[in-house]
Every structure is written in structure tokens, then in C-alpha cells.
Chain A
Amino acid sequence: MTRASLLLAMLAASFATLPAPSLAQDPGPTRIIVDQGVIEPLPFAAPLFVAEDAAAAEIATELTQVMANNLVGSGLFREVPREAHISPVTNFDSPPRFPDWSAINVDALITGAVASTEDGRLAVRFRLWDVAAQQTIGDGMQIVAPRDQARRIAHKVSDQVYSRLTGEDGYFDSRIVFVEESGPKDARQKRLAIMDQDGANVRYLSNANALVLNPRFSPNTRDILYTSYETGTPQVVLMNTQTLQRQPLGLPGMTFAPRFSPDGSSVVLSQANGGNTDIYRVSLGGGGATRLTSSPAIDTAPSFSPDGSQIVFESDRGGTQQLYVMPASGGGGTRISFGDGRYATPVWSPRGDLIAFTKQAGGRFFIGVMNPDGSGERLLTASFLDEGPTWAPNGRVLMFLREGRGANGAPQIMSVDVTGRNLRRVPTPGAASDPAWSALLPD
């Protein structure tokens, strides 16, 4: 099959039941388009990365597996299993035998090699191949990192593959901060935890002595904000997830629902005072709090637009919970949600194009997205309780919490892509809620 015919076949499969997308002028190499809903995942092969010395062998297996799991987990790719491979890849520098890969219907081939450097680090090389075109997609790449960073290398390779095949930024080299829950529903214990995006490397950040809620990442991916009942009243606390050093923001009264500004220098949150909940902005460099809303309603769940100029929030000022957008300096507020039911927990996508939300209607809860002006509402999930979406750094995938009915209904973290496809449970050691997705990690 020629490169052009492969592309056309893929596009036809991808959009079989969807409105015709605007096809790119230049078809380019093997590609899939993320936001249109992929019906037929693109088949790839990931032969075990070649271990170039004994110390690299174990890591090569793990690294290849982590990468393949990422790609399959995105729902956009399907792995052609290793048992089906015809010719092994034993030398990274030799070109693949393309007919052996096209014979088993592989579109994208990932080859790699792992070696130990003289100073004991890992050097990982990889190439991505368009099998039909018999050429690489982008240049080969080498990543050198300490041995204990093997999984992160795998995530970075995954991001490269994802990005080259979709034209979108990747999201695999990122973390989730969340709340682990244990104990019965009427005496639930909660503690903060952090893990890699794929559920690996779970680490606890607090003990279960005090109730904790809604952790949120700083853009620096190191610090978090969360709400703690340590003092007996809900208070927003800033924590460094590496040192576990904590610093209450020190605002009077009850504060909750914190979120960082896109530059990380300030925080928006809710403060309840005399039964009235309003939104405030607090500079982390000092200077006190600025009140942004002053209605007698419950104004809460604020989230900045990625350019920092606007804030979307929920309010019951019109009688029921609805979504509003206001300038980041506060005041006013334009209602953007007009469908049936109640709208809550709006979160602006990091790419700015969509706002995700929780909707409550007819006794059910939904995760949905809409344009920032409120048009184009689409519901992605529904259940007894779906709540609290958080965006992947590329704005193409959401995580949220899902909880079942009754005393045994423990929450779990789910993921879904922005088209509503690929609903999956995110692995966690126990019951888990309140996920918040970091930006891509710094190198």
C-alpha cells in the first residue's frame, strides 16, 4: 500500500460515522486526528528495545512495555503483539525489514536501543517508522537519564511517538495528585497521594489524620494547593510535594476550591463567610486577598483561562448552579451554561478551546465539555456520580471521579478522551477521588 492510500484508508475509518472533518492540505505522513473520535486505532509494533549491554536488559523490557501501555491506553493505537512479529529487531542501526511489518498490518513501527553510559546512566535511542512509506517519521532521538528514571524515559518516548503520529503534544510524562480514600462511607479517611499518569510510583503526601480535599497542581508540577481540616476548619494549604513542606495560606475563615493562576504566582479560591461563599484571589508573593465576587450566592470552583485573562466559575446567583465567566480582575460575570440541569466544577482546557464541567440532571451526573462561550455542549460520560474533571496537559484527555451507590460505593478515578471515547479506570491502590493532572514534567 502506498503512503497516500494508507492515509486515506485510515482517515476513512476514523471518520466513518462523524461529520466530515476539514482534511489537512498536506496529507503528511501516517497521522491520526485526535479530536474527531478515532474508531479504528492505528496498529503499531514495539519490538523489545535492543539491550546493548547486560545492565540494560531488564530495563529495556520494562521501558518497551511502559511505552506500549501508554500508547494503547490512549485509545488511539493498537499494539500488534510481539508473538505475531516475523523478524526480530536485533540491531538498532539496521533498517527494518519493512515487508515483514506490512505483512502483519503494522502501520507504525517503533525501534529502540538501551545502553549504559560510562557514568552509569541509561542512554535510550529510538526511531519511529512509517512502514508503508518505508521511512522514518521525524528524526531518531536519544535520551540520557539516571537509571531510576527508566519509566520517565519511556513516557518521553511515548510522548514523541504520540506527538509525531497525531500532531498534538503528548501527555504521558505527567503526574496525578489525588485523594486516597479508605474506611466506611460515614467515617471516610482521606490522604493525599501522587502518582505517574499511568498509576505507577504512588507516593503518599499526608497521613489520614485530617480530612483533605481537592488538591491542585502548580504549573511548576512540584507544588500543590489543597484544602485541609487539620485545624478543624477547611483551610487552603500550599505544599511542596518533594519536601512535603506545608504552608497554610493563612486566610481567615473557611477556604476551599483553590486553583493556581497559569503563571503560578497567585491563587483563586473560595472563602465562606457568614454563610456566603465568594471568590478571592491571593498573591503567593504576599499582598493579601482581593475579593472577585460579591453576590450573596455560592460562588465557587474558579478556574483561569490559560492566558490568565479570565476566570470561569460556578454560581447559584440565578437560582441554580450555572457556569459564569468573568475578567480575572473580578466583577460581573457572564453566564455561559443554559442547558437543562445544574452545571458545576468548570475547568478551562490548557489549550483554551474548551471548558470541561460536571452536569447534574435527572438524578444523574455527567462530565461534559463546551466552548468558552457556552456553545457546542457535549456530554462525554454519565453515571450515578461522575464529578470533577481535570485536563491532560494536551487538552485531549480528561480524568474525573466516579462513585457508585450506597455504603459500598467507593470512588475511583476514570479517564475519557475529549470525544467521549476510551473510557477507562485509572489504576490506583485503593479507592481514589479528586484527581488533578499536572503539566508535562520539566526535564
Chain B
Amino acid sequence: MTPRTLALMLSAVVVLAACSREEPNADANAGLEQSNLGGQWAENSIGFFNNVIGDRVFFATDSSVLDAAARATLDAQAGWLRANPGATAVVEGHADERGTQEYNLGLGARRANSAYNYLISQGVEAGRLRTVTFGKERPEATCSDESCWSQNRRSVSVVANAPAS
């Protein structure tokens, strides 16, 4: 399972939990009480950021343009970073294997910078962020077709200075 699909499933769990809190189960009348213990991660934790909000956004081939899905994820990242002012993040830029090494380092720098600029535009202080490019050096998925390449064309916000879980 990729972190992305895990994050989607966890989001669904959070939504269900919220619903059950607002509409108590009919069995409550029979003396049974239930309450929400929250998700696996505290909301101020790195685990919450990585798995519930999503630590990464994805790009089209040879592009550093943020699409709607990427902007939505970065909006949520920015909200979390604003709510947790002690946290810092390294924004990594990555490329798929279908390019040459030096160019992909440049492309990774572009992608990291796109995410970095967007986070700043949403109110995150520049001093808490740093960018780094890994080019094609750190693929997430290792098959040699589009199903893997699309996971590797990414920027990842690696958060530090917050609780792990």
C-alpha cells in the first residue's frame, strides 16, 4: 500500500468517526456509551501530517505545475504548519527515471520550489522551510511504467520538530 492510499483510507476513518459523534447510536439509550478516541495520530504529530494530511504532491511529466489536487494537499499542509509554529519542513523535489541525472536534479529543484512558494503564499514563514532536489535518486516506486513514474514525480514535505505520533 502506498502512503497515498493509506492517507485516503485514514481520512475516511476520521470522517466516519466525526459522523458517529454527531449522531449517537440508538443503543446509547440502553445504557451503552461510546466516545471518539481520535485517530491513530495526535493532530500535532508528524504521523498525522504524513498520513492524514499527506506529505506529498504529484506532478505531470516534465512539469512543476501544481494541479488542483496538489494545491488542496498543500493548503492542508500550510494549515497544519500554521497551527504548529514550532515545526519546520524540508521540501524535497523528485523526478521519475525517464530523464537524465543533471536535468532531473534541475527538475526536482523546480518542483520543490513550486511547493515551497505555494506554502509561503499560504502563510508559512520562509524561515521554516528549505528545499532540496533529489532528481531521480530516490524513487518511491521501482517498476518501469507510468504507474510507478507517476508516484515518483513528486514533492515531499519532510516535517521535523514535532511529535512523531
Binding site for B on A (CB under 8 A): 184-186, 188, 211, 213-214, 232-234, 254, 256-257, 270, 272, 274-277, 298, 300-301, 314, 316, 321, 344-345, 358, 360, 363, 384-385, 387-388, 405-407, 409, 434
Contact B103 A344 (CB under 8 A): yes
B106 touches A385 (CB 8 A): no
B23 on interface, CB distance cutoff 8 Å? no
Segment of B39-47, B69-77, B108-116 engaged in the interface with chain A: B108-116
Listed residue (A184, A270, A277) with the most chain B CB atoms within 10 angstroms of its CB? A277
Interface residues of B, dominant DSSP: mixed
B interface residues, how many (CB within 8 angstroms)? 32
Residues of B close to A234: CB separation below 8 A: 105, 132-133
Q: How far is the CA of A185 from the CA of B110 in the complex (A)?
A: 23
Give the docked Cα–Cα distance between A219 and B113 (Å): 36
Beta-carbon contact of A275 and B142 below 8 Å? no
Whole-angstrom distance between the alpha carbons of A270 and B109 in the complex?
12
User: A254, B109: Cβ atoms under 8 Å?
Assistant: yes
25 A-B pairs (CB sep. < 8 Å) = A186-B139, A186-B140, A186-B142, A214-B101, A234-B105, A234-B133, A256-B105, A270-B105, A272-B109, A272-B133, A274-B113, A275-B110, A275-B112, A275-B114, A275-B116, A301-B100, A301-B102, A314-B103, A344-B100, A344-B102, A384-B144, A385-B97, A387-B101, A388-B101, A434-B101
Q: A275-B110, A275-B112 are in contact. Are A186 and B138 (CB under 8 A)?
A: yes
Chain B residue at smallest Cβ distance from A190:
B137
Chain B residue with the shortest CB-CB distance to A363: B98
Question: Within 8 Å CB of A185, what residues of B?
Answer: 139, 142
Could you say which of A321, A388, A407 contacts B142, with CB atoms under 8 Å apart? A407
Total A-B Cβ pairs within 8 A: 97
Question: Does the CB pair B100–A298 fall under 8 Å?
Answer: no
Contacts A186-B139, A344-B100, A388-B100 given; does A300 touch B105 at CB 8 Å: yes
B143 / chain A contacts, CB cutoff of 8 Å: 406-407
Q: Mark B138-165, 1 if CB is under 8 A from A, else 0.
A: 1111111000000000000000000000
Interchain CB contact under 8 A, B110 and A214: no
**Residues of B contacting A316 in the complex (Cβ-Cβ under 8 angstroms):** 103
Does B99 belong to the interface (CB within 8 Å)? yes
Inter-chain contacts of B138 with A (CB < 8 A) = 186
- Quick one: which of B33-87 are within 8 Å of A by CB? 64
Most buried by B among A233, A272, A300: A272
Q: Can you add 7 more A-B contacts, CB < 8 Å, to A186-B139, A275-B110?
A: A186-B140, A232-B132, A234-B105, A270-B105, A360-B99, A406-B144, A407-B143
